[in-house]
Structure 1
Amino acid sequence: MGTVIMHSVVSVDGFIADGNDDVGPLHDWYFNGDIPITEGGDGQYDHSGAGGRIKVSRASAEYVRSTWETIGTIVMGRRLFDLVNGWEAQPPAGDHVVVVSHRPKPEGWHPEASYHFVDDVTAAIGKARELAGERTVAVNAGEAGGQILAAGLVDEVAMDVVPVVFGSGKRYFGGIDGRRLLEDPHVVIQGEGVLHLRFKVRR
């Protein structure tokens, strides 16, 4: 089975958005570089919630590209799904999306898309792994991600740390209770306006 990686862009004080779900400058580094994520510019990753083309610094490009290419399934919470309207059925990476939600998929919403609505985090990861096969399951950080980590279902934590302090807002790990230990980072890459870190979860 593929690795389950919890991932998001985050402020240095641990927030993925402010209290109004505004990400502020957290994603600026996706558009401030010269290198498209795909060498040929075929458009696979050339979209975002802002409708811009993703171009990052050379230092970030290989890491981001290689990470996104391994993703088979993205797991997201219902709040993020509603905020971005499920990326209009075109996830930034991977072929499948599992939404952790007690509500079903909106009626008539992109019936052709491989989006699956599951109301339990353990079942959500099971479904995501089934869909991903040997590829990576990428879990969006936030409340759903924190619940999945607390359930012991996350293998690695990946953070793209941006030099900004929010002070308050939506936490990377949601409202998780208790202490969780991670290994020393096995990926440390300094990009422009971002620091890429990855930690294995200590078992």
Structure 2
Amino acid sequence: MGALIYSMIVTADGYVADAHGAFDWGVASEELHEFVAESTRSVGTYLYGRRMYDTMVYWETAGLDEELPAGIADYARLWRSCDKIVFSTSLHEPRSARTTLRRSFDPDEIRELKLNLDHDLTIDGPMLAAQALRAGLVDEIGLFVTPVVVGGGKRFFPEGVRCELRLLEQRGFDNGTVYLRYRVAD
């Protein structure tokens, strides 16, 4: 049985993008990339909305024509080895291998995946994650809190989502980012 994990880089005030949709403050250090690569080895399937997929599809070719630091190259290889499911009504065809399109989010399909897969899944992007949170599907939440405040934008936890959390892990990084991993309480 796989766990469903919702994890993203966020500002200290809880945003994943600023009021203009920018994410330029979210650049990860090599140390952070190495940690993400190591901590996502249990993941075999990524669940994305269209915008998050458009951001993450970079990893499909990252490092193929250029030399990347070891931790970043490792993450790129891991990403390419995983299945991706993209939930979108506007994407006509995927731009990465091992990618399936779905036109709508079906909680029962995700519940079935969790039961039948022998690896973990991540759900990335606050709008898609909100649907999974409301359906009681998310098992863990990871926050990579960066030392920046943007004052508004797209929140990590969308309005109306409530869940109790139990701290499982915390770690600081050389760039001032702090990782907080929680179990969603039943």
Structure 2 alignment gaps of length 5 or more: 62-74
- Residues 3 and 112 (structure 1), Cα distance of their counterparts in 2 relative to 1, 3 Å cut: closer
Deviation of 1:111 (Å):
7.8
After superposition, residues 1-203 of structure 1 pair within 5 angstroms as 1-27=1-27, 29-30=28-29, 55-56=30-31, 61=34, 63-81=35-53, 83-84=54-55, 86-87=57-58, 89=60, 92=76, 93=79, 94-101=81-88, 103=89, 105-107=91-93, 109-110=94-95, 112-123=97-108, 125-126=110-111, 129=114, 133-175=117-159, 177-183=160-166, 185-193=167-175, 194-203=177-186
Q: Which amino acid aligns with 2:31?
A: V
- Residues 84 and 56 (structure 1), Cα distance of their counterparts in 2 relative to 1, 3 Å cut: same
TM-score, normalisation: structure 2:
0.77
Structure 1 alignment gaps of length 5 or more: 31-54
Structure with greater strand share of residues? 2
- Residues 128 and 17 (structure 1), Cα distance of their counterparts in 2 relative to 1, 3 Å cut: farther
Deviation of 1:87 (Å):
3.5
**CA root-mean-square deviation:** 2.7
Q: What is the alpha-carbon distance in structure 1 between the residues aligned to residue 39 and residue 141 of structure 2?
A: 13
Q: Report the number of matched residues.
A: 169
- On the 8 A contact 1:144/1:174 being kept in 2, the answer is no
- The C-alpha deviation readout for 1:76-99, integer Å capped at 9, x for no partner, is 112323x43743756952511112
- Residues 128 and 164 (structure 1), Cα distance of their counterparts in 2 relative to 1, 3 Å cut: farther
Match of 1:41 in 2: none
Deviation of 1:126 (Å):
4.1
Aligned identity (percent) is 24
TM-score, normalisation: structure 1:
0.71
Higher relative contact order (CA 8 A, sep 6+): 2
Q: What is the alpha-carbon distance in structure 2 between the residues aligned to residue 85 and residue 64 of structure 1?
A: 14
